[in-house]
């Protein structure tokens, strides 16, 4: 779906004049917005990622039209810039293109907050880093992990394989419940999501096959055997 079409669907008010109306709202406040972006850019470069995201959230709540203009400009959306040129002029589009060139460090936090605003999500998970260690006294492998949303680390944990699989089982079960509830209410699941679900299921089945083989090998090995 083109970016501008998605915004029309996500906004609660009548936004049939998008993107022209969005851009005009931005142009009326351009000097103040760029001053805010300068300050946000400084904070982002200094690693104040959570503070940057909170300020962007407040910005989005105070003026969604201006926020979405900035967010789309930072992504460098060719569709968006083309629509601006057709509804306004090339000069307006070039002023927006300059945002992406001037504030590349702000693309990620604006994209995350845009996802929150458009899809009613908070800190959408974008990354998971894992490492493995071993606790010799308990003869227990351990998995350390960090869940992140963009540049913001949400949670650090350290669990045993059994504990990790327990959480994974709950997530799979809840996913099934969510799909079942949607079907019971005659709601549909968009094609992209369904396609991704099929891919994830196949990946999960492959990983479970390897896990099954590994567990079978451990069961054949005497406890304490190195």
pLDDT in tens, 151-202: 889 999 999 999 999 999 999 999 999 999 999 888 988 998 999 999 999 9
Mean pLDDT (the chain, rounded): 87
Task: Tell whether the model's pLDDT for residue 107 goes beyond 80.
Answer: yes
- Which residues share a beta bridge with 128? 147
Give the separation between CA 226 and CA 206, rounded to whole angstroms: 27
pLDDT in tens, 173-182: 999 999 999 9
Note the pLDDT of residue 21: 80
pLDDT in tens, 1-38: 333 333 332 333 333 356 678 888 899 999 999 999 99
Domain boundaries, the chain: 3-119, 127-220
pLDDT in tens, 30-88: 999 999 999 999 999 999 999 999 999 999 999 888 999 999 999 888 888 888 888 88
Kindly list the distances between the CA atom of residue 174 and the CA atoms of 169, 178, 180, 184, 208, in Å, as whole numbers in the listed order.
9, 6, 10, 15, 18
Give the separation between CA 108 and CA 40, rounded to whole angstroms: 12
């Amino acid at each position: 779906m083109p970016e501008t079409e998605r915004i029309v669907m996500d906004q609660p008010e009548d936004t049939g004049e998008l993107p022209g109306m969005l851009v005009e709202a931005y142009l009326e406040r351009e000097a103040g917005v760029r001053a805010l972006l300068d300050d946000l850019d400084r904070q982002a470069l200094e690693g104040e990622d959570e503070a940057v995201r909170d300020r962007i959230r407040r910005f989005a709540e105070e003026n969604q039209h201006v926020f979405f203009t900035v967010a789309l400009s930072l992504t460098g959306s060719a569709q968006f810039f083309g629509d601006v040129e057709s509804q306004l002029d090339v000069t307006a589009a070039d002023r927006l293109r300059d945002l992406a060139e001037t504030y590349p460090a702000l693309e990620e936090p604006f994209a995350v907050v845009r996802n929150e605003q458009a899809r009613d999500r908070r800190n959408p998970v974008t990354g998971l880093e894992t490492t493995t260690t071993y606790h010799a006294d308990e003869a227990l492998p351990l998995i350390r992990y960090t869940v992140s949303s963009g540049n913001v680390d949400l949670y650090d944990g350290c669990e045993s394989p059994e504990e990790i699989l327990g959480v994974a089982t709950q997530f799979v079960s809840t996913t099934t419940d969510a799909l079942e509830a949607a079907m019971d209410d005659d709601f549909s699941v968009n094609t992209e999501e369904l396609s991704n679900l099929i891919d994830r299921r196949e990946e999960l089945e492959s990983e479970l096959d390897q896990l099954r083989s590994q567990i079978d090998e451990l069961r054949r090995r005497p406890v304490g055997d190195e």
